[in-house]
Amino acid sequence: MSKYFNLIAFIISLLFLNLFRNSEASVVSTGDFNNDFFVMWAPSHVNTSADGRERSLKLDQESGSGFASNQMFLFGRIDMQIKLVPGNSAGTVLAYYLTSDQPNRDEIDFEFLGNVSGQPYIVQTNIYADGFDNREERIYLWFDPTKDFHTYSVLWNLYQIVFMVDSIPIRLYRNHADKGVAYPRWQPMSIKVSLWNGDSWATRGGLEKIDWSKGPFLASFKDYKIDACVWQGNPRFCRADSSLNWWNGARFSTLTRVQKRWFKWVRKYHMVYDYCQDNQRFQNNLPKECSLPKY
């Protein structure tokens, strides 16, 4: 009888362990920058509010600055409220991205390219998959991103990567791995944010340089949310379609009807550059995904 009860206890303990492991698989962030992120470089240029809810990065002639998440993730949704560098921000680059930091790295990038006063900000998005990039797209924002905070989001799941601005999808990249197109699906990635000098290329191809007399340049962050699968060394937990991994559910496998309308609106009225339309760059041999459905 004791062997029978020991077996029952062992099975129950395994069930609880599995529940615990699954409960630890995803995270809803604390909202405190001090808890969820560490300063990558130039701590003197990173300022965090007393309650940890707001943070700013500074760029001057001495240095840029940056911070990164303590955890790594495989699939999920990341939201960050950002107020971009105001005034004459030409040459500055604010990068907000996910990266695996491996030689054949995967990366999902937002890059905000500053501009001369009165000219609209450009948002460049890019995707690295298995170490290859060359997938840049650029749009003009339809508002002044320096006047107030706006939410910039990435939804990354088994089916697609969606870049969003205030919940409006501005870019899609579908998982066409079954057709030979590289897709970030195995490597965990951390969240990184940095403000730096990109005046060799960022504004008008590097023609506009940073006017340091307008500095220091500040970008601000608040109300971020990380709802993602925390990497624990086994991708199957993050790839599972479960109530915890809600982002892998079938309803997130494509855009909704309303999202598709917004997406087409962005592409029609605000697109600046699309690598899938750059035949000259690719010598009339566009990447394979350019001829495949976006949703």
Q: Is 111 a catalytic residue?
A: yes
What pLDDT is recorded for position 242?
Answer: 83
Query: Does 5 fall in a domain?
Result: no
Cα dihedral 194, 197, 203, 205 sign: negative
Cα–Cα distance measured from residue 171 to residue 143, given in angstroms and rounded to the nearest whole number: 17
Which residue reads 């077996």 in tokens? Answer: 7
Query: Does 187 fall in a domain?
Result: yes
Query: Does 17 fall in a domain?
Result: no
- Residue 93 in tokens: 């680059």
The series of mean pLDDT values per 10 residues for the chain, 295 residues long, is 46 39 61 96 97 98 97 97 95 97 93 90 95 93 96 98 98 97 96 95 85 96 96 89 89 96 98 97 95 92
Which residue reads 């939410």 in tokens? Answer: 151
Contact in structure between 174 and 295 (CB atoms under 8 Å): yes
What pLDDT is recorded for position 25?
Answer: 56
What pLDDT is recorded for position 15?
Answer: 39
Which CATH number characterizes residue 139's domain?
2.60.120.200
Query: Does 18 fall in a domain?
Result: no
Cα–Cα distance measured from residue 203 to residue 94, given in angstroms and rounded to the nearest whole number: 13
What pLDDT is recorded for position 10?
Answer: 41
Q: Is 54 a catalytic residue?
A: no
Q: How many other C-beta atoms lie within 10 A of the C-beta of residue 9?
A: 10
| Beta bridge partner(s), residue 210 | none
The active-site residue, picked from 24, 54, 62, 111, is 111
Total domain count, the chain: 1
Domain range holding 47?
Answer: 23-291
Query: Does 76 fall in a domain?
Result: yes
Query: Does 4 fall in a domain?
Result: no
Q: How many other C-beta atoms lie within 10 A of the C-beta of residue 202?
A: 25
Q: Which of 107, 79, 295, 71 is nearest to 184 (CA)?
A: 107
The active-site residue, picked from 107, 137, 208, 289, is 107
| Beta bridge partner(s), residue 138 | 124, 273
Cα–Cα distance measured from residue 96 to residue 209, given in angstroms and rounded to the nearest whole number: 22
Residues ≥6 apart with Cβ < 8 Å to 103: 131
Residues ≥6 apart with Cβ < 8 Å to 57: 45, 46, 64, 65, 66, 67, 94, 193, 194, 195, 218, 219, 221
Query: Does 275 fall in a domain?
Result: yes
Query: Does 87 fall in a domain?
Result: yes
Q: Which of 86, 88, 89 is nearest to 147 (CA)?
A: 86
Cα–Cα distance measured from residue 254 to residue 264, given in angstroms and rounded to the nearest whole number: 14
